[in-house]
Amino acid sequence: MRIFQVDTFTAARFTGNPAIVVVDADALSEATLQAVAREFSHAEVAFVMAAGAADHDVRLRFFNARKEAPFRRPCHDCRAYGAARLGRRQIGVWRSIPAPV
């Protein structure tokens, strides 16, 4: 598990919307995902996981301090950053599968 804070909606460091991105989250239990989200107390923490099928590049789950959260717009930046950190960034269309909530 690797954890990053990403500044979204900005080109300047330490401005914009801070977001927490956890990559290599595949082996984490539901309880661990929730504990990590609770630790950071952000609106959402994005967990980037390997694709489960050929029709997408990464799998995403989002948690806040209390529960799993639905996909939201700021998470696009998290997805791109997480996929790049995993070496799965490609030019063109991003294909991601948010987990059902």
**Active-site annotation holder among 30, 39, 44, 68:** 44
Helix (H, G, I), strand (E, B) or coil at 73: coil
Q: Are 73 and 98 in contact (CB under 8 A)?
A: no
Is 68 annotated as catalytic? no
Token pair 């717009």 is found at 73
Catalytic residues: 44
